[in-house]
Structure 1
């Protein structure tokens, strides 16, 4: 059990924890169960690290290994290899080096996917440090070089580049999985290298082995195997090199070569153990043994080096299948109660490996079967996706990936984007398991910062890929210094960007910069690229963008430019209370989704749910709007894609924290039933007002009553603070309520025109409406949009004749004489605000902390608060008011700055109501 889990047990008790865990699972997109005896065994999850798989992908911080080891040693993209005999090594795929090898315990499972694997809402991720006994390490330089060894002074710590070696110098090729062994493939110059890492025991010692096969060695190459910074002397005898440590030379790190050939061990600068591989036209193979231990065991090691070396297995034809079983689940189709409903594809939680399944993304093969990728780092193939979903067949295909969030299927081949890059998966022997995890592309930089997500991957119609990379947010522990700009660390030089990767994976082009946490949408027909970003520092609310090459979107720490670019406007902003956490997008490209055909769909993690995006491309600057698609969303919605066979939208998502949903994960089908849809399907905003189109005909009597509409507008302020309050057009705090001077229905009864005086460019507008459809159905909804350009509307062309524009002038004169509303504060009103403003997604009204951004509210009032700077305060009325208006001023210890200001959003009576509500939760 983790230390965090132990603390929680001490705080709440074992029984409370079990009840909370079971409640959490039962409320997820996982299959629901009526009683505890029905809960499948798979909910008792096995370890994140599986003993039968040879590695996990991870980052590792090895800067504090102790005396004799390089002081500057960290790596973002490594394979943490299980070598047997309680021996482990991390292979840095960027620099092609063993960054560290050790014995004893494996790495602690503290990275984001690892720590939340069983404790679903735990966001207190850590940094992976070696907790066993380190034996071997190298510094931040190339593990292989051509012509001569190459080193860097590891005593002086410098910021790493977080980049792979230039491909012409050396390049990671990928890993073959052969049973519980991994065969590493890479090139060094022209040379092709295959490596089987392992370990062997002799006496009571463990030696590390690197069985290497080299071919096409046109020029001599060097392997740097270890750096011993406190060496006292060294020597080379035949096929063994020795570096002694200690005043009495009682400790030694030795490297020996077992096998035929003329590979030669060397000691460089008295502290680097290297191996020289001379140029050769023939393929050569040998085993390099490396060991650190007492001198008294040296003869036993020398004997070991004379033994017959290990040989590489026939890995190129594929290995034995690790996962042979097929898991069958039954889905749940929704009743056809609306135009769009969500069917649930039950996840294979009851699997033989007791493996968690948090689905991050889905892609389809041409025949309609799917591949999904999980945050655990697994890929599953899914068949049996038919109308009824009663025989869904899940087959595990791949594992060991590093926090993957995206998957694509191109020409029936699977590509996954994780922190190691874009991985292309090959089943070499057609046994249903991936055998070769090819490095398709690692040209993108990747730091070890936990929030520098490998966020999104889409395949373009020209064969290239677009990727989105998260900004290196300063939440949680970090491995890089603070960036210039609040809320960020330096991370890599490509964080917070959108890039295009060439069809061969070997080149990249920067497309857009200045993003905080972007996710992508791509229209495979038109080639339009869209993106979302995450509200936070420098991002005042959730935006949707149409991406053009050269765009900059306003986040200074991820600008990565020096030409002082203009900030590109979003298609639309979305208010915090509507979607505080945006993720992916998908285009409805088929012909079977009815009114949604050809629509852009936006995914909200925070709400959760799907939004229809409306685009007004007739304005001088393209602008957009969003409208919520009402359906059942049992878990956060993150990514989605069209099934080419049934042409319905399939939606994935999993929870970490900060969503209004308590579900853990789900796989849904958004299905069109053929019933009438009453959603907004088009909009235009201009000088005369607002036009909104609908899927169904409306009753004229409800449209022409202006009292059925509410219109308001406000701006945001882009600062380095988290999010933004609301501001009127004159810069003062608050929102402007605009009157509807007149309302009209088009001749086809599917469009309405709202005459709104004083229309201007503004960041956010909201229209609420309570209408009746022609068939009597109530249509009560909201539309949220941005006015980037307020131009004259050709009303007659839009379908509206005989519009009395004089109403605009009359209403504008009335606007300045609107009486102020008298508001009364109450705890009940505070409770309503708590729900309406999405506070409930971040703060529990009880004592719950799992999945919550902020502290719970129960017993908050008059409690003592300890802040991250060590100061303290009592949570009285003034403290609560300050927390609402300037939340970044004091951050409670254990939490991050993740709350926007409600300046201009809440009135004084609103704030007083929230205070009364919080008091009521404390019985005061």
Structure 2
């Protein structure tokens, strides 16, 4: 992989502007106004290439964005549904992984990279931009995605079967399967290798057996008719190959004459599909069952070059077609040396440094939004080269390289490197090569001629299954030192386009047989191993020093709240529709749960493996999309079953936080994220640097939970007086219920609804002044505990915060080991009775309290208090009270107090039309007074 070179255009720009400004003034005095006009035009021409040089802020504006599909790039990657494109075409034609190629003159084809076939070729309009990344490209919060279906006129198509076979052609004989396999062909039979981009054309590269195939798709016209061509270079055919060129199911008669096959359609044979071979090659045509047109390639040691010419049109134009099909094959472009650079410009942005107001602050690396291509830049992930250069991947399918990431961030240089990827969410740099995980698989990018643009998009691995369901994300990719990768795949949720049948589990569709799983991909990319199943929306964290693999999951159906897992091979995590096993395994416990109000939507994780992040060195960092922000994860490995907890890292997060990576040069954590699914943040996208300033940190840095209570350690010394005051701590605990419903309410240990408040029998401080022991009566295993604390640090800083954790195993703790001597354990017995005799709090409902709950419980991330619907999962609250609610089943109700209470406690009972089931129950979470307050708040919004 080359090192990217950038021209010093900014300095040249200043020189040109200064020189031209003075020159124009002199010429006006000497020659007059006409000279001004001429020289002004010259100035524009000379400086236009630096128009996009300096950008100082992230201000996305959909009005200035160009179309998602760019005319100069040969394809986009997409899923397509061509099952209902008309009479005579196959009805089992859907594909999750295709390259939708622009062939010029309003001609297009979708090449299925799993089955190595032309799924469908058509004329007229390109595909509608309705997939998730496409529909939200300009309308940033639009989640109403669908599957792409043809709006143009189909001409050539094949069904959902292998496009190439060895020894004999294989068809389905018109029998349609209920569900596709959503898998690539076995690599020993045939394999997609990748695409070469040469200007506005793409060379498709794949193998069939040991034969290498290079294909250049294209089109041309005769009269008003469009002809499709497949220029093929075929190498090393050991055993005869067959390519299925077209399936015509309503043919009346078919015949082969010489190097042309004809299937006539219509009672009067007034239309025809004709396939011809051009070139001096030994290829031949066959028609099977009067519907399949196949091309036979005989064994040949030498390379052969020919063209498959395909056309559908009126039979009266057949002679003209036969004449037009007499093409002379020319050699393919010299693609293996790399094509011309599509994106030559460098965009320079100026970052924003945060003042050093805390131990950890976030600096902002301004995105190249004002770029020459008017391209949106929603950064999904970042990876680093050893020298500190970065590569970022965007949700729209682009890769950018970034230089100039230094202390001051004043001269950040961005260069577009690749495009056309399919909703990528992950990127890695391995030995100076960029790897991206998208729906097509793991793509390895090659810059063959060192011009700063990728020329070869190699399929490193497509062995993971992939359906067309939108939520079956290619969610995460992490590299391991042995050369393998771990990948996480999203579950096929029911709020996608519905390409597959509903499953037996609520909220899911069938998807592929690997949806909701974590896989290990072999070093050569050709094998996969299932590591864990039963996940809804997993994202990964990997520590290359210890080999520990962690994951998060998304709260939803079967997932009662946000969990963090330490992944072990063979584990099952409780989501029945993604179990993919029949042995009824036990559900592996999470390291910790995180309450809905704290993080309702989690994403990636990162381990701080460097030495320059101060107290965070060695820590696991958890990324919250919904909150948004970062959490420090603490692990109690002294208990019989490992358990953990989280604390929030307070900083400025202008957009959702999704993923991140450590820069090997400055060893700070860089954080990416973009908005779409309903975060509490309104920012669209950002690239941040979480920077350690050297100031004191007041975060918890260790914890232990056991029979005697809870030990929490901090980065800074604590004021002894505040630490020894038990009134400075509030503790509560509760369980969740794992059901098929979305999320869960809160339940006491006896199964009743609500939360248990626990007294602090006594508090102690360790000799080093950094650890606190809280004696807590009746400690037991429980899914969720919260400790709220109001402390003072020894330096006077107030430490008012919360720590959230799980007790998987309550065992005796060695208190002396942690620095606690002379602990009066008798206090535990004397305080235990207080649990059952807690006085009820007197609460008064109010709209003001309801507004506080609306913010605290993260309702604001899904429901607007006004009329906003963009980016919101639930209906807006303005004028909600007493309005008519129309549900999915067509029933209606007036939104009175009874309905509002039902919506809070049983949100899945009735779903408002146009919305999905994406709200957990607040049973046991909110008291009756809380619910009454929320209703009063909603009522007040009607005014």
TM-score range with shorter-chain normalisation? over 0.9
Cα deviations by residue, 1:81-103 (Å, 9 ceiling, x for unpaired): 00011000000000000000000
Partner of 2:934: 914
* Deviation of the 1:815 alpha carbon: 2.1
Aligned residue number for residue 511 of structure 2:
491
Whether 1:578 and 2:598 are equivalent positions in the alignment is yes
Partner of 2:28: none
Q: Distance in 2 between matches of 1:907 and 1:892?
A: 25
CA gap of 1:461–1:482, structure 2 versus 1, over 3 A, is: same
TM-superposed CA distance for 1:151, in Å, is 0.7
Please name the residue that 2:111 is paired with. Answer: 91
The match for 1:316 is 336
Structure 1: segments with no counterpart, 5+ residues: 1-29, 34-38
8 Å contact kept, 2:57–2:367: no
CA distance change for structure 1 residues 482 and 382 in 2, over 3 Å: closer, same or farther?
same
TM-superposed deviation, 1:156:
2.8
Show the counterpart of 1:482: 502
Count the aligned residue pairs. Answer: 889
Secondary structure of the 2:652 match is coil
Provide Cα deviations, 1:410-466, integer angstroms capped at 9, x if missing partner.
001000000000000000000100000000000000000000000000001211100
Q: Deviations over 1:626-678 (max 9, x none)?
A: 00000000000000000000000000000002100000000000000000000
CA distance in structure 1 between the partners assigned to 2:116 and 2:83 by the alignment: 18
Q: Do the aligned partners of 1:43 and 1:350 also contact (CA within 8 Å) in 2? A: no
Q: Distance in 2 between matches of 1:290 and 1:802?
A: 89
Residue 90 of structure 2 aligns to a residue whose secondary structure is coil
- Give secondary structure in 2 for the equivalent of 1:903: coil
Instruction: Find the counterpart in structure 1 of residue 566 from structure 2.
Output: 546
Deviations 1:163-202 (A, max 9, x none): 0001111000000000000000000111100000000101
- 1:504 aligned residue: 524
Q: Deviation digits for residues 55-99 of structure 1, max 9, x if unmatched?
A: 000000000011000011100000000001100000000000000
Cα distance between partner residues in 1 of 2:401 and 2:611: 26
* CA–CA separation in structure 2 for the residues paired with 1:754 and 1:125: 50
What is residue 567 of structure 1 aligned with on the other side? 587
Aligned-pair CA distance for 1:126: 1.0
Give CA-to-partner distance per residue, 1:270-319, whole Å, 9 cap, x none.
11111111000100000100000001111111111223234311101100
The CA distance in 1 between the partners of 2:56 and 2:262, in whole Å, is 59
Q: Which residue of 2 aligns with 1:140?
A: 160
- Matched with 1:430 is 450
CA offset digits 1:380-424 (Å, max 9, x no partner): 000000000000000000000000000000001000000000000
CA distance in 1, matches of 2:640, 2:544: 25
Corresponding residue of 1:184: 204
Matched, 1:383 2:403: yes
1:31 CA drift (Å):
5.7
Residue 782 and residue 31 in structure 1: after superposition, are their counterparts in 2 closer, same or farther (change >3 A)? farther
Instruction: Give how far 1:42 is off.
Output: 8.3
Output the CA distance in 2 between the equivalents of 1:156 and 1:775: 73
CA RMSD of aligned residues (A): 1.0
Instruction: Indicate the residue corresponding to 1:846 in structure 2.
Output: 866
Q: Distance in 1 between matches of 2:632 and 2:607?
A: 10
* Separation in structure 1 between the aligned mates of residue 913 and residue 325 of structure 2, nearest angstrom: 54
Partners of 2:838 and 2:803 lie apart in 1 by: 24
The answer on 1:599 being equivalent to 2:619 is yes
Would you say 1:264 and 2:284 are equivalent positions? yes
Match of 1:789 among 809, 834, 858: 809
Cα shift at 1:155: 4.8
Give the whole-Å Cα distance in 2 for the aligned partners of 1:31 and 1:564: 56
| Residue 54 (structure 1) aligned to one of 68, 71, 74 | 74
Three-state SS of the structure 1 residue aligned to 2:816 is coil
Task: Quote the Cα distance in structure 2 between the aligned partners of 1:817 and 1:443.
Answer: 59
Matched-pair contact (CA < 8 Å) for 2:56–2:349: no
Alignment deviations for residues 516-537 of structure 1 (CA, whole Å, 9 cap, x no partner):
0000000010010000000000
The yes-or-no answer on 1:401 pairing with 2:421 is yes
SS at match of 1:299: helix
Matched, 1:662 2:690: no
Residues 41, 632 of structure 1: CA spacing in aligned structure 2 closer, same or farther, 3 A cutoff? closer
**What CA distance in whole angstroms lies between the structure 1 residues aligned with 2:347 and 2:498?**
39
Distance 1:710 1:306 in 2: 84
Deviation, 1:476, is: 3.5
Give me the whole-angstrom Cα distance separating, in 2, the residues matched to 1:610 and 1:120: 23
Q: In structure 1, what is the equivalent of residue 125 of structure 2?
A: 105
Check 1:207–1:310 CA distance in 2 against 1; reply closer, same or farther (3 A cut). Answer: farther
Match of 1:680 among 673, 686, 700: 700
| Residue of structure 2 in register with 1:768 after alignment | 788
Which residue in the other structure is 2:733 paired with? 713
Which of the numbers 233, 236, 239 marks the counterpart of 2:253? 233
Counterpart selection for 2:393 from 369, 373, 379: 373
Classify 1:870/1:310 alpha carbon distance in 2 versus 1 (closer, same or farther; 3 Å). farther
SS of the equivalent of 2:523 reads coil
CA distance in 2, matches of 1:169, 1:198: 26
SS in 1 for 2:817: coil
Structure 2 CA distance for aligned equivalents of residues 366 and 183 of structure 1: 32
Query: Hey, what does 2:49 align to over in structure 1?
Result: none
Structure 2 CA distance for aligned equivalents of residues 310 and 457 of structure 1: 41
1:706 Cα deviation after fit? 0.6
Partner of 1:36: none
Deviations 1:723-743 (A, max 9, x none): 000000000000000000000
Is 2:122–2:152's contact at 8 Å kept on the other side of the alignment?
yes
C-alpha deviation, 1:814, in angstroms: 2.3
Partner of 2:20: none
Give 3-state SS (helix, strand or coil) of 1:88's partner: strand
The answer as to whether partners of 1:606 and 1:841 remain within 8 angstroms in 2 is yes
Deviations 1:551-601 (A, max 9, x none): 000000000001110000000000000000000000000000000000000
Length-normalised TM-score, structure 2: 0.94
Aligned residue among 282, 285, 294 for 2:305:
285
Work out whether 1:875 is the aligned partner of 2:885.
no
Alpha-carbon shift at residue 213 of structure 1 (Å): 0.3
Which residue of 139, 146, 154 corresponds with 1:119? 139
What is the DSSP-based 3-state SS (H/G/I as helix, E as strand, rest coil) of the residue aligned with 2:413?
Answer: strand
Question: 2:463–2:526: 8 Å Cα contact kept in structure 1?
Answer: yes
| Equivalent residue in structure 1 for 2:264, among 244, 262, 267 | 244
Contact 1:41 1:350 in 2 (8 A): no
CA deviation digits over 1:229-263, x for unaligned, max 9?
Answer: 00000111111110000001010000011111111
How many angstroms apart in 1 are the aligned matches of 2:680 and 2:312?
53
Other-structure match for 2:183: 163
Select 1:898's aligned residue among 890, 904, 918. Answer: 918
Residue number among 752, 758, 763 corresponding to 2:772 in the alignment: 752
Could you say what secondary structure the match of 2:605 adopts?
A: strand
Q: 2:459 maps to what in 1?
A: 439
Deviations 1:450-489 (A, max 9, x none): 0000000000121110000000000142100001100000
Aligned residue for 1:797, secondary structure, equals helix
Q: For residue 204 of structure 1, report the CA deviation from its aligned partner.
A: 1.0
Cα contact 2:77–2:422 (8 A) shared by 1: yes
Does residue 680 of structure 2 align to residue 623 of structure 1? no
CA contact (8 A) 1:585 1:603 kept: yes
TM-aligned CA deviation for residue 41 of structure 1: 8.2
Normalising by the residue count of structure 1, what TM-score does the alignment of the two structures yield?
0.96
Are the counterparts in 1 of residues 57 and 350 from structure 2 also a CA contact under 8 Å? Answer: no
Partner of 1:731: 751
2:193 is paired with a residue of what secondary structure?
strand
Decide whether the 8 Å contact of 1:319 with 1:435 is kept in 2: yes
1:328 is matched with 348
How much has 1:269 moved relative to structure 2?
1.2
